[in-house]
Amino acid sequence: EAQVTQNPRYLITVTGKKLTVTCSQNMNHEYMSWYRQDPGLGLRQIYYSMNVEVTDKGDVPEGYKVSRKEKRNFPLILESPSPNQTSLYFCASSLQGRDQPQHFGDGTRLSIL
């Protein structure tokens, strides 16, 4: 089954404790991206990647890191999480960038105390 898989689905952690949210897709997609969703603000893109070893900042990259060492994986790293990063996070992928439908994972709900 074609899918985007995120882990964990839920996480409660404390300020400053490094965490990684994994994202994996099995569709051989080139484009992958991370979004955060907050009430009233819609989906905001954090980082995106056009292909292996190519990553670019989205609209809200501060406090986040990503890497794209393999085509299928695109982990989101919070080196020193803070409470303002409490949010619902989605990973998405598409065959290429523009005009391609984004396939979203089921989301990761992060709470940082």
C-beta closer to another protein: residue 49 or 85 = 49
Q: What type of residue sits at position 101? A: P
Q: How many CB atoms lie within 10 A of CB 93?
A: 28
Nearer to another protein, 17 or 57 (CB): 57
Least distance between another protein and beta carbon 16 (Å)? 28
Give the nearer residue to another protein in terms of CB position, either 44 or 72. Answer: 44
Per CB under 8 A, the list member of 10, 62, 69, 101 interacting with another protein is: 101
Copy the structure tokens of residue 13. Answer: 């952690």
Residues 6+ away with beta carbon under 8 Å from 66: 34, 46, 47, 49, 55, 74, 75, 76, 77
The residue within the footprint of another protein, chosen from 35, 64, 74, 89 (CB under 8 A), is: 35
Q: How crowded is the C-beta side of 18, counted as CA atoms within 13 Å?
A: 4
Residues of this chain that bind another protein (CB under 8 A): 31, 33, 35, 40-45, 48, 50, 56, 58-59, 90, 92, 97-99, 101-107
